[in-house]
């Protein structure tokens, strides 16, 4: 039926011709009608010709063609008697229709062997199962009905169907590279990640760290991935709020000193204490109610010495740091150690710039003294002669220093611990155990210090036992606590990382020269000569070749970078010129870098101190250190690095001296012997507390094998 209908349509749609027959006055529009008219006209004309035809020999006569007869009829009249050729009744449309009819059986055969487009689409879409889970495409109709689907759809096709318009492969890699680098063969895109965050969720932490480094690698390939520093740091911080906390492992070598399990346990408990009793908690609000001002009659707003002795659940240690940045860091470390030993919450006066330099060390709370703290101004006004100062209270026998720790009359809700160079003998009694007993009853202790007084805490017997458990390696006190407490804020971390990656990362070795001069009467050139003499003698820096040929250098020559930190640029210019103008005898390539030269120390200026903190941290990333005598700047760097530096510029010593330990020096320790009740040499009381190399009367912690 279909074939018949097709041929009929082709025949009916053939173009029509129109002929006007003058004999009948009709307009003929179909081939059949036109033919009948023409044939009738021919018959009539033949009859007329037979009647008028002359006899043979009289000549021929061509009849006139009537006016109005078409050329088509004229041709027909001249053709003579009608003949019927084989194709005479066939017209072009009919021929085309016949030809198509001959082709239709062939088309039908081809069509019957070809699957319909809908069926193909059904096989290719909606019928293939498990594309996101595996590379095997299985048809719901079975392998017999749709086997070509599983054979033609390749793994690459499946990936192409799953990737969004962003074409993830073109942005990150070719298809094959993407499969090899970012996903395993059995887990493709949809199983683990969305299209927009494939790298963030599929790439492992090790890959992220590796891609973020330069091609020369900031650290060796065997860099440790322990971002918690052996459990020293707590997990759960928002990494974006303090990038340095967990990224420092990318820039610093692994420490050989492992924190003790007891220290880790103590730190976790203290973090819980800080959170439970920290600012804006219920217990904190209860504690500050004990700080009650006097009435309106007092000219000066102060707090009562007599107050309710109702015990509070939380006790506090408030630090008012001052002096230079290095001094504030070492005194803050000592205050935290004391808070750790006495289970007190540590709060730091934020006006000292602490919040601009260091991230919060405790999770889910703050160590900064709130701005609305009711006794803020009162605490700041305290001094060595204040009646609330421990030395004054002992001198006036408000607090007894006997065995029972008795006190005469009501105690103040707060007591000042004045631990600054130049403190009195009574202030030094703080390091006696008998004085520690009454201090346990004071809910608020205020510490003012610019000293690293941690070594003297070992003189208190009850503390010594606890400290020995916390730090089996005595010389690691600042090393562990410093890495726990001091994490550069993001702006400072930016200064550090940009400097390191630009100037220090590609060197085979980094040598830090920390130069601080306290005696301005000696010229910088003379100091530099002593520093270079030390560095050359100890093989930290190579000698230069003045006359003879230098060792041959090549692209594979060993490189060193000298990092100089100083307020003066003279040292940098001299060292740079020396290694620029002359080759080294070893063939090493020496570069010199100084981040800044401020001229003078500008304590209290935020940007100045941010640069200073960045330089301290950069020094701590060195492989070897040369520091200056008495400088807390160098103490902090060596403690964070875990290095024993070469100490230069020691008075009455033209040479340098290797440090006994990485610990800072307590410049002004107590001389009073609590048990002997007289002055003693504190440097011989304990085998692991000795006099400093650069400070004759100072004290520092050393290893047990150093005594």
For residue range 298-318, what is the model confidence (pLDDT) as tens digits?
Answer: 444 444 444 445 667 899 999
Whether the per-residue pLDDT at 633 is higher than 60: the answer is yes
Whether the per-residue pLDDT at 610 is higher than 90: the answer is yes
Distance CA 25, CA 29 (A): 13
Whether the per-residue pLDDT at 267 is higher than 90: the answer is yes
Pick the most confident of 23-37, 78-92, 620-634. Answer: 620-634
Q: What is the pLDDT of residue 522?
A: 75
Q: What is the pLDDT of residue 678?
A: 82
Q: What is the pLDDT of residue 309?
A: 52
Average pLDDT over residues 660-672: 95
Contacts 24+ apart (CB under 8 A), 311-315: 312/283, 312/286, 312/287, 312/443, 313/277, 313/283, 313/286, 314/273, 314/276, 314/277, 314/283, 314/284, 314/287, 314/345, 314/443, 315/342, 315/343, 315/344, 315/345, 315/442, 315/443, 315/444, 315/445
Q: With both helix axes pointing from N to C terminus, report the angle between 325-342 and 261-277 in degrees, rounded to the nearest 10.
A: 90
Whether the per-residue pLDDT at 454 is higher than 80: the answer is yes
CB 164 within 8 Å of CB 195: yes
- Tell the residue number behind the tokens 């630090």, with chain if given: 319
Segment among 35-39, 545-549, 599-603 with least mean pLDDT:
35-39
Alpha helices in 567-698 (DSSP H): 570-581, 606-620, 632-641
Bigger pLDDT: 49 vs 414: 414
- Residue 78 CA, chain-centre distance (Å), reads 103
Whether the per-residue pLDDT at 72 is higher than 50: the answer is no
Q: What is the pLDDT of residue 674?
A: 87
Q: What is the pLDDT of residue 518?
A: 84
What domains does the chain contain, in order, with CATH numbers?
Answer: 1-50+66-77+92-114 (no CATH), 126-202 (no CATH), 278-451 (no CATH), 492-659 (3.40.50.11350)
Whether the per-residue pLDDT at 22 is higher than 50: the answer is no
Q: What is the pLDDT of residue 94?
A: 54
Segment among 256-265, 519-528, 534-543, 683-692 with least mean pLDDT:
519-528
Bigger pLDDT: 525 vs 474: 474
Q: What is the pLDDT of residue 350?
A: 83
Helix or strand run (H / E) with residue 32: helix 31-52
Alpha helices in 127-239 (DSSP H): 142-152, 155-162, 168-172, 175-182, 198-202, 205-212
**487 CB contacts (<8 Å, ≥6 apart)?**
242, 244, 245, 248, 358, 359, 361
Q: What is the pLDDT of residue 310?
A: 60
Q: What is the pLDDT of residue 200?
A: 39
Whether the per-residue pLDDT at 613 is higher than 70: the answer is yes
Q: Are strands 646-648 and 657-658 parallel, antiparallel or unpaired?
A: antiparallel
Confidence of residue 167 (pLDDT cuts 50, 70, 90): very low
Whether the per-residue pLDDT at 291 is higher than 60: the answer is yes
Hey, is 524 helix, strand or coil?
helix
Distance CA 646, CA 534 (A): 8
Q: What is the pLDDT of residues 671-702, one digit of tens each?
A: 888 877 788 899 999 999 999 999 999 999 99
494 class by beta-carbon count within 10 Å (0-12 exposed, 13-18 middle, 19+ buried): middle
Hey, is 401 helix, strand or coil?
coil
**455 is written with which tokens?**
């070594």
Q: What is the pLDDT of residue 673?
A: 83
CB 242 within 8 Å of CB 254: no
Average pLDDT over residues 342-368: 94
How many other CB atoms sit within 10 Å of the CB of residue 49? 12
Average pLDDT over residues 447-458: 97
Q: What is the pLDDT of residue 110?
A: 52
- Tell the residue number behind the tokens 């001052």, with chain if given: 322
Q: What is the pLDDT of residue 285?
A: 93
Q: What is the pLDDT of residue 226?
A: 87
Q: What is the pLDDT of residues 247-256, one digit of tens each?
A: 999 999 999 9
Alpha helices in 304-374 (DSSP H): 325-342, 354-357
Task: For Cα atoms 217, 222, 228, give the angle at the middle one, nearest 5 degrees.
Answer: 95
DSSP string, 72-112: HHHHHHHT-S----TTTT--HHHHHHHHHHHHHHHHHHHHH
Q: What is the pLDDT of residue 652?
A: 80
Distance CA 609, CA 324 (A): 9
Segment among 321-335, 391-405, 453-467 with least mean pLDDT:
391-405
Average pLDDT over residues 700-706: 85
Confidence of residue 637 (pLDDT cuts 50, 70, 90): very high
Hey, is 185 helix, strand or coil?
coil
Average pLDDT over residues 437-461: 95
Helix or strand run (H / E) with residue 589: strand 589-593
**416 is written with which tokens?**
């000042």
How many other CB atoms sit within 10 Å of the CB of residue 305? 15
Q: How many residues does the chain have?
A: 707
Q: What percent of the chain is predicted at pLDDT more than 90?
A: 51
Q: What is the pLDDT of residue 203?
A: 34
Nearest to 442, CA basis, from 589, 317, 564:
317
Whether the per-residue pLDDT at 650 is higher than 60: the answer is yes
Average pLDDT value over all residues in the chain = 75
Average pLDDT over residues 90-113: 56
Q: What is the pLDDT of residue 157?
A: 42
- Residue 606 CA, chain-centre distance (Å), reads 25
Bigger pLDDT: 399 vs 457: 457
- Tell the residue number behind the tokens 């085309």, with chain if given: 96
Q: What is the pLDDT of residue 679?
A: 86
Average pLDDT over residues 574-581: 95
């Amino acid at each position: 039926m279909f074939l018949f209908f097709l041929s009929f349509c082709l025949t009916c749609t053939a173009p029509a011709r129109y002929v006007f027959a003058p004999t009948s006055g009709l307009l003929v529009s179909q081939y059949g009608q036109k033919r009948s008219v023409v044939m009738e006209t021919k018959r009539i004309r033949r009859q007329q010709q037979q009647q008028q035809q002359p006899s043979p020999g009289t000549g021929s006569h061509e009849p006139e063609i009537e006016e109005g007869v078409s050329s088509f009829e004229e041709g027909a009249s001249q053709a003579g008697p009608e003949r019927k050729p084989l194709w005479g009744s066939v017209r072009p449309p009919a021929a085309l229709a016949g030809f198509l009819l001959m082709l239709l059986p062939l088309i039908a055969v081809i069509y019957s062997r070809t699957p319909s487009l809908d069926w193909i689409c059904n096989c290719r879409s909606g019928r293939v199962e498990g594309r996101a889970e595996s590379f095997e495409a299985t048809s719901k109709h079975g392998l017999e009905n749709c086997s070509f689907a599983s054979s033609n759809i390749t793994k690459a096709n499946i990936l192409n169907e799953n990737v969004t318009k962003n074409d993830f492969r073109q942005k990150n890699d070719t298809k094959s590279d993407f499969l090899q680098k970012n996903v395993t063969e059995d887990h493709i895109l949809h199983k683990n990640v969305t299209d927009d965050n494939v790298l963030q969720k599929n790439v492992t932490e090790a890959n992220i760290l590796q891609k973020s480094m330069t091609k020369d690698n900031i650290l060796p390939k065997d860099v440790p991935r322990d971002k918690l520093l052996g459990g020293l740091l707590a997990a759960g911080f928002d990494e974006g709020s303090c990038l340095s906390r967990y990224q420092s492992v990318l820039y610093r070598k692994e420490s050989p000193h492992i924190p003790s399990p007891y220290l880790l346990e103590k730190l976790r408990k203290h973090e819980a204490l800080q959170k439970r009793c920290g600012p804006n908690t219920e217990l904190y609000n209860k504690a500050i109610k004990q700080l009650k001002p006097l009435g309106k009659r007092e000219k000066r707003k102060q707090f009562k010495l007599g107050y309710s002795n109702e015990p509070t659940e939380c006790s506090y240690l408030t630090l008012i740091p001052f002096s230079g940045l290095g001094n504030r860091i070492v005194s803050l470390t000592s205050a935290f150690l004391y808070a750790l030993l006495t289970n007190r919450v540590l709060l730091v006066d934020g006006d000292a710039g602490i919040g601009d330099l260091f991230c919060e060390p405790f999770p889910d709370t703050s160590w900064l003294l709130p701005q609305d703290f009711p006794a803020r101004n009162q605490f700041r006004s305290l001094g060595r002669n204040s009646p609330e100062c421990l030395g004054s209270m002992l001198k006036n026998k408000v607090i007894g220093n006997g065995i029972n720790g008795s006190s005469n009359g009501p105690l103040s809700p707060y007591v000042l611990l004045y631990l600054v160079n130049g403190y009195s003998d009574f202030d030094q009694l703080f390091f006696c155990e008998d004085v520690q007993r009454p201090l346990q009853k004071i809910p608020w202790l205020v510490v003012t210090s610019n000293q690293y007084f941690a070594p003297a805490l070992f003189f208190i017997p009850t503390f010594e036992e606890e400290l020995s458990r916390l730090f089996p390696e005595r010389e690691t006190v600042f090393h562990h606590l410093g890495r726990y407490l001091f994490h550069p804020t993001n702006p400072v971390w930016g200064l550090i990382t940009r400097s390191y990656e630009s100037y220090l990362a590609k060197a085979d070795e980094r040598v830090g020269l920390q130069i601080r001069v306290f005696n301005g009467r000696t010229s910088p050139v003379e100091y530099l000569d002593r520093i270079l003499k030390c560095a050359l003698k100890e093989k930290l820096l190579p000698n230069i070749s003045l006359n003879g040929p230098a060792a041959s250098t090549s692209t594979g020559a060993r490189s060193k970078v000298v990092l100089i930190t100083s307020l003066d640029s003279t040292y940098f210019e001299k060292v740079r010129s020396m290694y620029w103008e002359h080759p080294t005898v070893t063939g090493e390539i020496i570069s010199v870098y100084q981040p800044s030269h401020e001229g003078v120390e500008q304590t209290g200026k935020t940007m100045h101190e941010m640069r200073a903190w960045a330089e301290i941290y950069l020094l701590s990333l060195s492989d070897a250190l040369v520091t200056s005598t008495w400088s807390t700047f160098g103490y902090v760097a060596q403690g964070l690095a875990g290095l024993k530096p070469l100490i230069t510029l020691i008075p009455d010593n033209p040479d340098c001296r290797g440090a006994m330990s990485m610990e800072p020096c307590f410049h002004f320790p107590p001389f009073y012997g609590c048990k002997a009740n007289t002055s003693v040499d504190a440097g011989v009381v304990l085998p692991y507390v000795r006099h400093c190399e650069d400070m004759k009367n100072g004290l520092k912690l050393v290893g047990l094998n150093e005594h």
